[in-house]
Structures are given as structure tokens and as C-alpha cells.
Structure 1
Amino acid sequence: METRLEVRLREPNPLFTRWLERWLREAERRQQKSQFRLRQALESLRSYPLPLSSGRDCSILRGFGGTLCQLIDEELRQHRGLQLAPQEDVARAQYEQQVQEVVRQVQEQQTVHQKRLVKPRKPTKKDLAELAAQEERVRQVEMKPGAFQLLLLVDTQETSGKNKRVLDQTRSYLESLGARHEVRRLTIGDFLWVAQDSEGNELVLPYIIERKRMDDLASSIRDGRFHEQKHRLQQSGLRNIIYLVEDYGDNEQLGLPLDSLQQALANAKVQTGVQVVRTENHFRSMSYLAAMSRSLGQIFANKRLYSVDRGQIDKCSCLLMDSQLGLLKFRALYEDSAKNAQLTVREVFVQQLLQLHSLSLERAMAIVERYPTPRCLLEAYEVGLDPKQARLLLSSIPCGPLERPLGDKISQCLHEFYTTHFR
């Protein structure tokens, strides 16, 4: 709790007060009209709490006209000519001394008061929940072979559906196929698997599925969500990323040519290593998930699973023939993959680049490898380059596995975007 201090000098302007008192006595003795103005000025000066340095400073007070201020300045010059201590120095010294004394007394009182009254604050439910979440994240989890079950997690968006009049058949299909599942809100992907033990611990298997219907795929490519989602999936720490793509009727009237969609899927498979699985309809997609659940249950049944941090996931073995595997905790994946999680400048720069036309994830990553932040790119434009060289600065950057150059057109577009000043 902060304490507001107010320090007032008993007599902030002793010299000015003494001179006004002397002039007032003389005016009263001579019965001059100036005595009324002098009395008003003296009362104003005594009420003013701060030191004044000159007669000119006194003009802010009532009763101090130009003549009276000039008289004070003349008296002050004579006073200083006698090598006496200036009015402001005397007042300032008094002011500082009193301030230090008051501060010292208040600090002593606060120390005594805190020692008497300080009591440990009772933690709130929010504090306890945050503490439990922090302890759960750092706690090591180990699951021995046969001591856990696999559970398929389904994102809530997969069961609500965009059209309320059409019920999504995801749950009913999975139930009819005997797939053990649970509906939850996922911050990344549409389906993933966790290993659950009897104590409620959950470790995420290194498989995540993004389900898209062909019309939704076309829409996500047009508005840039496809590249942004692909980037977030690659940053999740789960090695096996699967795009489960369903046909939309005869795949007509999708908003983009079918060849363009197939090319986008082929590029994602070749350049980023994601797996693409095509199905004829929703039921076939759920059948694929049920079959995956059975296969993963057989593969992981005799393995020892233990928890690792996201930064350690690359150092752990990921071979399915190994007897033990390091996996992420579900809570850690959920919190770290949230869209509103704290992002680095590099990650924000990548997402910004992905919003630009013709910039794929591979091209954006290649640019960020060379220039990690927008500031680095702007500084590169400004250092010793003529306009033509600046426009072609990025054209030779190699992109993707084939290391093809970024090209003049994209380089010029980026230069124009980042150097144009909008008003």
C-alpha cells in the first residue's frame, strides 16, 4: 500500500515575509493606501507552501503587482550583494531537511506496522488451480506396458457441425465401429490419441489428424488458413501429421479447380512430409480412424511411455520398434498449441508472410531463415542497396527440398509491401 506524503515548511519564504512585514509597518505608520495591497500580499505569501526564488515568482500570488515584485527583486539583489545566503537556498535546505525527516519517520512506522499486520494471504481457487497446473506440467509421468489404455480425442468442432439442422454423425459412426473416444476441445488438429493410466495422466501419441472435406480444403487455401494450420501442426511436436481429405460429392463446384487442390495436397506431402489420406465419404473417414485406433493399440501395448518437454521431443527416439517412447503431456500440448499462446517474433513473422498471395509455408520459412524478423528485413533493404537491388534482394533465396529460388516477382511484391508507407 503506497503512502502519500505532504511536507509543509513552517515558513517557506522567511526573507520575503520579513521584507513585506517591514514595508507594511511603514505604510501603516504613514497611513498609505498601499498598506491594503501589502497586507493582502503578506497573507498570500504566508499561505503559499513552497519556496519562491525571486520577486517575479511571486507574481502568481494575490496582491503582488509589478511594482511590489520589482521591489522584492531589488531587495534580493542588495541582499545577495552583501554575500548573505540566498533566499531560495535557505528555504530549499529547510525543505529538504524536513522532507528527509518525515520520510524517515513514515518508513519506521510502516516497518513496524507491517511486522504487526502482515499475515499470509489465503490462496484463492484460481491460485490453487494455477499452482496445480504448474506442478502437473513439471511432474514426470511414466506408464508401464499394459498399464494404460488408448483413447481417441475428437475436437468439439467435429460434433457440432456448421449447419445445426444437419447432425454430425462422427460420434455415432465411431460408436458403431467400436472406437473408444471422447469429445474435447482441441487447440490443434481434429483428432489425436492419448494414452491414459489409472491416475488420470495423459500422454499424446505422435499422431495428429486434420480432417477436411474438399470444399473446406478449397476455402482454406483461398483464405490462407491451409498454410497457417499446416505451420501450426508442424510446430506442435507431433511427428506424424495426417490430412484426412473427404470427397465432396463429385468434387464439383468447390470454388477452386480440382487439379489445384490435388496439387496443393501433393506439395504438402512432398515438401513438408505430411501424410494425405483420401476417403469417399464421412463414414469411410471414421472407419479409417477406428482402424488406426486398433493398430495403435497393438503397437503401443507393450511399450513403456514417459513424459518429455516439447524442447526434448527431438532428442527422444521415435521409432515404433523401440521398447520405450518419450511423449508430450496432453495439457502441455493443449496450452502450447493454443492460438492465443505467446508467440515469438519469428513465429508471428511467418504467420504474417503466409497471409500474402503465392507465399507457401516453405517459401515463408526460407525467408525467415535468412531474415528472422521484419526489422532484419527492413534493415537489409536500407543498407547500401539501390532501389533495383532492394527489390530483387529475396529473389535468389532457395526454397523447399528442391531449393528453387524465390523468384523476382515475389521478391518485388514483398519489397513493395514492407517499404510502402500508408497514410
Structure 2
Amino acid sequence: MGSAEFTMLDKDTGGMGNSILAMPPRLSNEKFLEAYEVVLILDDREIFGSRGKRVVGNIHSKFHVPVEIKRLPVGDGIWIARHRRSHTEYVLDFIVERKSVTDLVSSIRDSRYKDQKLRLKKCGLRKLIYLVEGDPNPLGASESIKTACFTTEILEGFDVQRTTGYSDTESTYGHLTLSIIDYYSTNFSIGANTCRVCLTYDEFVKKCCDPKKLTVSDIFALQLMQVPQVTEETAIAVIELYPTLVSLARAYSMLDGDTPAQEKMLNMKSKMVNAGASRNIFKLVWGEG
């Protein structure tokens, strides 16, 4: 795969203000690569088996980018900008979740798939990449993989990358790294003083790990995602309006038994909740239908 294929970097990243991704701090007139070194960080639980060290070495030697291994609180890969003088590490606005087709099929069956995507959406990084590795056909799971990829990309806003195996995954990580370096080099002088500041690595870890246990809202979101037509985006939209099951039930009760109005309520309040999901959530909460 070539770097030209990574069109995700062009989605919603042009212009000023909220369109620019989070940037690390900038002193006047300094260029991005003068101030920072970009490092690809892979989770130490990334399943490359005995190939792990070789994968790191291959990416580094082929693409001339530094690669390090750390225990990540979420995701399988991130990119940091390490300041060349202070050595402060800022997490760039990209994160990868890598799934072999075998693991993806397994996680779909036991619901880890939805839980992991919800955690990615809440990690504070804007560009979410879902990397699916391998050929699903020998597993007899081609259609379920295609459906999962379609839902993840089109309905939930992830960028889905497909690779054929380890070697292709190495190249994908390398090309993504070069594309990210190019994006920040191009936009650093434009956006560093006008947009969000990247989290430091320590802030990123704290955001993802605190609290260590799921909140009531997290549990409610996971329950909602078991409802037909409710995606991660839908669940997040609902809990932003009603953080708990009790608060949602109270809102329904305020409509005095007007079932059509209750079924439409969430759809009317958020464009992220379609009519079918709105109706199905009402049936879940009210236990009717």
C-alpha cells in the first residue's frame, strides 16, 4: 500500500479552527521537524508473535522512522511528537486498533468489538483507524467482516484499513507514519496557535485509565449498543443527553404515556439517533412492544 492511499488525512483536516487536528505547542517561527521527532508507539501486547522485534526493525529500516514499544491504555498504536530539547511527549491526533480477522470474528461474537470501539471514541484522539489484517475467506466469515468494516467506517466514522498480513501491516504503519509527519509539517505553522493542544503522553494515559472501572454511563452505553440499530455514535449521543438509564426513563415519563412521542423522542433530540434506534431504545427502557 502506498502513502497516496491514506486519504483519511484529507478528511476534515483542511482549513482553520476546529478542522485542524490537535497540535503540539509551537514557539514562534519554528518548524515542526525542527522542534519535534515523530515516534510510532506500538502496544507491548500487540500480537506479532515472534515477529515483534523484526516488525519494529523492518518499519524503522524501511521508512526511517523511530518505533518504540510501550504499554498503551487503549489501542494498538499511536504517534507521539517528542520535543527535541525538553523531551516532552505529545500524543498526535491518531490512534490505531489492529485486528486479525480471527480476533475480529471472535470479538464480534463476544461483544469486545463494541466495547473496544467505545473506548477508542472516548480516548480524546480524533482520527480513529481500524486496521483489519488477513483474509477472512478461509474462516467462512467474509460477509460478517465486510459488514463490520462497513459499519465501523460509514456509520461510526473510523478509517478502516485492510491488510493482507504482517508484511502489509508493516507497510501500512510505515506509510501512515510518513503521512502523519507530512500532515503536521504542513499544518504546524497554521494550526499550532489556533487549535487544540495535543495531550501529553501522561495526560493521555490518565484520561484513558481514570477511572479504572467503567462508569455508570459507560455501562449504560454498552447496554444501548446491544439494541438493534444502535451504533457507538448513537449510544454516545444518547448518554450525552441522558447519562443514565434512570434519567432517560424520567424523560420518557414526562411525556405522560404518549407512546408515539416517546418512541420519537431521541430521534427528535439528536440527529445521531435514527427513528428505528429511537423506537428500539424506548422499547428497551419501557419494556413494551
**Same fold per superposition (TM over 0.5):** yes
- Secondary structure, aligned partner of 1:337: helix
Among all aligned residue pairs of Structure 1 and Structure 2, give the percentage whose two residues are the same amino acid. 27
Post-superposition offset of 1:329 = 0.9
CA spacing shift, 1:151–1:379, aligned 2, 3 Å:
same
1:170 maps to 2:39:
no
Spell out the pairing of 1:277-292 with structure 2 (5 A cutoff). Answer: 277-292=161-176
2:66 corresponding residue in structure 1: 180
1:170 partner letter? V
| Residue deviations 1:214-249 (CA, integer Å, cap 9, x gap) | 22222222222222222222222211111111123x
Structure 1: runs of 5 or more not aligned? 1-139, 306-320, 418-423
1:189 corresponding residue in structure 2: 75
- Secondary structure, aligned partner of 2:38: strand
| Residue deviations 1:90-123 (CA, integer Å, cap 9, x gap) | xxxxxxxxxxxxxxxxxxxxxxxxxxxxxxxxxx
User: Which range moves more in the overlay, 238-247 or 323-332?
Assistant: 323-332
Kept in 1, the 8 Å contact 2:227–2:281? The answer is no
CA distance in 2, matches of 1:408, 1:298: 45
Q: Which of 1 and 2 has greater Rg?
A: 1
CA distance in 2, matches of 1:381, 1:147: 54
CA distance in 2, matches of 1:187, 1:283: 25
- Secondary structure, aligned partner of 1:195: strand
- Secondary structure, aligned partner of 2:80: strand
- Secondary structure, aligned partner of 2:243: coil
CA RMSD of aligned residues (A): 3.4
**TM-score, normalised by the number of residues in structure 1:** 0.52
1:335 corresponding residue in structure 2: 206
1:353 corresponding residue in structure 2: 224
Post-superposition offset of 1:299 = 3.5
- Secondary structure, aligned partner of 1:349: helix
Post-superposition offset of 1:154 = 0.5
1:150 corresponding residue in structure 2: 38
CA distance in 1, matches of 2:129, 2:254: 43
CA spacing shift, 1:401–1:334, aligned 2, 3 Å:
same
Kindly tell me the number of residue pairs found equivalent between the two proteins.
254
1:219 corresponding residue in structure 2: 106
| Residue deviations 1:13-70 (CA, integer Å, cap 9, x gap) | xxxxxxxxxxxxxxxxxxxxxxxxxxxxxxxxxxxxxxxxxxxxxxxxxxxxxxxxxx
Kept in 1, the 8 Å contact 2:221–2:236? The answer is yes
Post-superposition offset of 1:332 = 0.5
2:21 corresponding residue in structure 1: none
CA distance in 1, matches of 2:47, 2:152: 27
Post-superposition offset of 1:412 = 2.9
CA spacing shift, 1:364–1:299, aligned 2, 3 Å:
closer
CA distance in 2, matches of 1:414, 1:330: 39
- Secondary structure, aligned partner of 1:364: helix
2:19 corresponding residue in structure 1: none
Post-superposition offset of 1:346 = 3.1
Structure 2: runs of 5 or more not aligned? 1-23
CA spacing shift, 1:189–1:280, aligned 2, 3 Å:
same
**TM-score, normalised by the number of residues in structure 2:** 0.73
Kept in 2, the 8 Å contact 1:363–1:400? The answer is no
| Residue deviations 1:149-176 (CA, integer Å, cap 9, x gap) | 1111010111564xxxx54453243244
Post-superposition offset of 1:205 = 1.1
1:225 partner letter? R
Kept in 2, the 8 Å contact 1:224–1:354? The answer is no
CA spacing shift, 1:408–1:171, aligned 2, 3 Å:
same
1:404 corresponding residue in structure 2: 275
Spell out the pairing of 1:228-377 with structure 2 (5 A cutoff). Answer: 228-248=115-135, 251-253=137-139, 257-301=141-185, 322=191, 324=193, 326-338=197-209, 340-341=211-212, 345-354=216-225, 359-377=230-248
CA distance in 2, matches of 1:409, 1:300: 43
Q: Which has the higher contact order (CA 8 A, sep 6+)?
A: 2
